[in-house]
Amino acid sequence: MNNNKYAIILAAGDGKRMKSDKPKVLAQVLFYPMLGWVLDAVKAADIDNTAVIVGSHKEQVTAYLDSIGGYPFFEQKERLGTGHAVMQAMPFINEAAANNADILVACGDAPFIDAGTIASSYEYHKAENNDVTVVSAIVDDPTGYGRIIKENGAFSAIVEQKDCTEEQAEIKEINSGIYWFRADKLSALLDTLSNNNAAGEYYLTDTVAAAEKKGVYTATSADVVLGANSRSQLAALNDTARRRKLAELMDEGVDIPLSDGIIIGKDVKIGADTVILPNTIIKGNTVIGKNCEIGPNSYIENCVAEDNVTLNNVQAHDSKIDSGAKAGPFVHLRPGTHLHSGVKIGDFVEVKNSEVGINTCIAHLTYIGDSDVGKGVNFGCGCVTANYDGIKKYRTTIGDNAFIGCNTNMIAPVTIGDNATTAAGSTITKDVPADSLAVERGQTRIIENWEKNKKRIKKA
Ligand code: UD1
Ligand code: CA
C-alpha cells in the first residue's frame, strides 16, 4: 500500500436541479455512476487510501460504496460548503499527516478526472513543495466556477463566481475542484476558514489565500472540470464520454462504420476487426474478442464473447459465448448461458442458465432453460424445456448428437441420451436412453369427407 497519497472525495451535495430521488453523485455516465468514475481514476493513480464525504441521500451512497468493495466515509450532516465537507474527515487527515502524506481532494460529480492529471499534478505539487496545488482549466465560459486570481503573475487566491468583481468574472482560468494538500498543513488551513462570503459557506477554496506555498497546475484537457448539475448537463457528459470511448475503440482497430445509437460502457473491451453495428449497447464488464460482428440492435451486458462471434439483434446478459458461435436475429441469452464454440442460435430463441455444447444448433422458436446440452445436438422448431413445475426448477440433460424433433416438450428433470431422437410433437416425461427414439403421440385418425359434410367449401 502506498501511504504517501490519500484522497478525499466530496459527495455530500444535494443535486437539487436533477429532480431525482437519487443522489447526484450516483447519476450515470455511460451506465456508470459519476462517483465510480472518480473513484476508479483515483485508484488508477495508485492512491489506496480514499475516504468519501457523504451527506445527502447517504444511505444510497454508502450502499453503492459497499457494492464496490467498501470505502471509509465521513458524514457531513449539513451542507455548509466544500471546506466544511473536508473538515468532517479530520481523523483521516490526521492519519495522512502522521504518514507525511499528501491529500488529493476531488468532487464526486465531475467524472472526467483522470489518472494522468492526478499523477502530473502530484509531481508538480511535490516538485514545488507546495502546501496546496490547485488543478485549473482554461474554459470558454467560466460562469459558475471559481476564478484563479494571480497578482503580478503569482497565484494568490480563488474567488467564487458569486464573490467576483466584474473584472475577475472575465478570467477564463478556473478552479477544477481538484486539489493536492500537504496533509500536515491542511488542518491549520481549514481552521482559517470562515463563512463570511456571498453563499454563507465554508469554502475550501479560501484555503488558497491562507496557504503560504501554493501553485496552479493547468490540466491539459478542460474536460476534467465537467460536471453535471442538471439532466441536460448529464446528457452532455454522456455524449462526451460516448464519443471518447468510440474514438478509443476505433484507435484500437474496432470497426464502427456508423455510430448511431451505439453506446459502449467505459470498461468494455473489444478486439480489433470486430464490427459494431448501429443501435447496439454494450455495458458492464463485457469483453469481446477479435473479428466479431455485434449488432445491429443488440444489448450486451456483462458478457464474454471470444473471437469470430456474431450477435445480431441479441439481448445477452451475464453469458459466455465461445469462438465462432452465432446468435440471432431476435435471441435472448439470459444469465448463466454458455454457448460453446460453433453453436448456432436462430430467431426467437431464449436460452437461460444452460450449457450448449460445441456445434449444437437451436435454430427457431425454442426455449432452453436450466439445461446441459451436449455437442452437435440439433433442435427442430419450437422445442421447450419445461423447467418449472410452479414450485421448483429442474434441469434437462441432452446428450451429444441427439436429435430433438420439432415441438418436443422436455418435462424436467429429464435426460435424453447421446444420439437419441425425439419424434416431432412429443412431450418427453421419461429419460430416453442413448441411440433410441422416443415417440409420444396419438394415432392419426382419418375421417373422410369431413369438409363436404360441414359445407365449409362453397360449391362453384
Ligand atoms: C466548487 C468550487 C469552485 C470550482 C467548482 C468546480 C468551492 C467553494 N467552489 O464550486 O471554485 O470551480 O467546484 O466544479 O469549493 N459538497 C459537499 N458538501 C457541501 C458542498 C459541496 O460534499 O457542503 C460536494 C458536492 O457534492 C460536490 C462538490 O462538493 O461534489 C462541489 O460542490 P459544489 O456545490 O458543486 O461546488 P461548486 O459551486 O460547483
Ligand atoms: Ca459543482
Q: What is the pLDDT of residues 318-373, one digit of tens each?
A: 999 999 999 999 999 999 999 999 999 999 999 999 999 999 999 999 999 999 99
The residue whose CB lies within 8 Å of the most ligand 1 atoms, and thus the one to mutate among 22, 39, 87, 107, is 107
What spacing in Å lies between the alpha carbon of 107 and ligand 1's midpoint?
A: 7
Q: Which ligand places an atom closest to the C-alpha of 225?
A: 1
From the CB of 109, is ligand 1 less than 6 Å away?
yes
Is any ligand 1 atom within 6 A of the Cβ of residue 12? yes
Ligand 1 centroid, distance to 222 Cα (angstroms)? 17
pLDDT-wise least confident of 53-67, 412-426, 445-459: 445-459
C-beta 334 within 6 A of ligand 1: no
What average pLDDT does this structure show over 114-142? 97
Tell me which residue of 237, 318, 242 sits closest to 285, measured CA to CA: 318
Distance 101 CA to ligand 1 centre (A): 24
Q: Is the pLDDT of residue 459 over 80?
A: no
Q: Is residue 146 within 6 Å of ligand 1 at its C-beta?
A: yes
**Residue 265 Cα to ligand 2 middle (Å):** 24
Query: Using CA atoms, how far apart are residues 415 and 248, in angstroms rounded to an integer?
Result: 48
Report, as an integer, the average pLDDT of 130-135: 98
Atom 11 of ligand 1: nearest residue by CA position: 146
pLDDT(460) > 90: no
| Whole-number average pLDDT of the chain | 96
Tally of CA atoms within 13 A in the half-sphere of 325 that contains its CB: 31
Ligand number nearest to the C-alpha of 12: 1
pTM: 0.91
Q: Is the CB of 172 under 6 A from ligand 1?
A: no
Asked about 317 being catalytic, the answer comes back as no
Residue located nearest, by CA, to atom 19 of ligand 1: 81
Ligand 1 in contact with 88 (CB < 6 A)? Answer: no
Cβ of 83 closer than 6 Å to ligand 1, yes or no, is no
Question: What's the average model confidence in pLDDT over 215-219?
Answer: 98
Cβ 203 under 6 angstroms from ligand 1? yes
**Nearest bound ligand to the CA of residue 173:** 1
Q: What is the mean pLDDT of residues 38-64?
A: 97
- Ligand 1 atom 8: the closest Cα is on which residue? 203
pLDDT grade for 436, boundaries at 50, 70 and 90: very high
Query: 80 CB under 6 A from ligand 1?
Result: yes
Segment 188-205 shows an average pLDDT of: 96
Please report, as a single letter, which amino acid is at residue 435: D
Residue nearest atom 25 in ligand 1 by C-alpha distance: 13
Tell me what percent of the residues of the chain surpass a pLDDT of 90: 93
- 53 in contact with ligand 1, CB cutoff 6 A: yes
Does residue 454 carry a pLDDT above 90? Answer: no
* Predicted pLDDT at 451: 73
| 427 band by pLDDT with thresholds 50, 70 and 90 | very high
Of all protein residues, the one whose alpha carbon is nearest to atom 30 of ligand 1 is 107
pLDDT at 458: 65
Q: Are strands 5-11 and 102-107 parallel, antiparallel or unpaired?
A: parallel
Cell numbers that stand for 54 in this block: 457523504
Q: Which of 57, 84, 338, 364 is an active site residue?
A: 364
- pLDDT of 312 > 80? The answer is yes
| pLDDT at site 17 | 86
Ligand 1, atom 22: nearest CA belongs to which residue?
12
Q: Counting ligands in written order, which one lies closest to the CA of residue 175?
A: 1
Distance from Cα 83 to the centre of ligand 2, integer Å:
14
Q: What is the 3-state secondary structure (H, E, C) of the chain?
A: CCCCEEEEEEECCCCHHHCCCCCHHHCEECCEEHHHHHHHHHHHCCCCEEEEEEECEHHHHHHHHHHCCCCCEEECCCCCCHHHHHHCCHHHHHHHHHCCCEEEEEECCCCCCCHHHHHHHHHHHHHCCCCEEEEEEECCCCCCCCEEEEECCEEEEEECHHHCCHHHHCCCEEEEEEEEEEHHHHHHHHHCCCCCCCCCCCCCCHHHHHCCCEEEEECCCHHHHCCCCCHHHHHHHHHHHHHHHHHHHHHCCCECCCCCCCEECCCCEECCCCEECCCCEEECCCEECCCCEECCCCEEECCEECCCCEECCEEEECCEECCCCEECCCEEECCCCEECCCCEECCCEEEECCEECCCCEECCCEEEECEEECCCCEECCCCEEECECCCCECCEEECCCCEECCCCEEECCEEECCCCEECCCCEECCCECCCCEECCCCCCCCCCCHHHHHCCCCCC
- Ligand 1, atom 26, residue with closest C-alpha: 13
In the structure, what pLDDT confidence band is assigned to residue 449 with cuts at 50, 70 and 90?
confident
When pLDDT is cut at 50, 70 and 90, the band that residue 456 belongs to is: low
Instruction: Output the CA 24–ligand 1 centroid distance in Å.
Output: 12
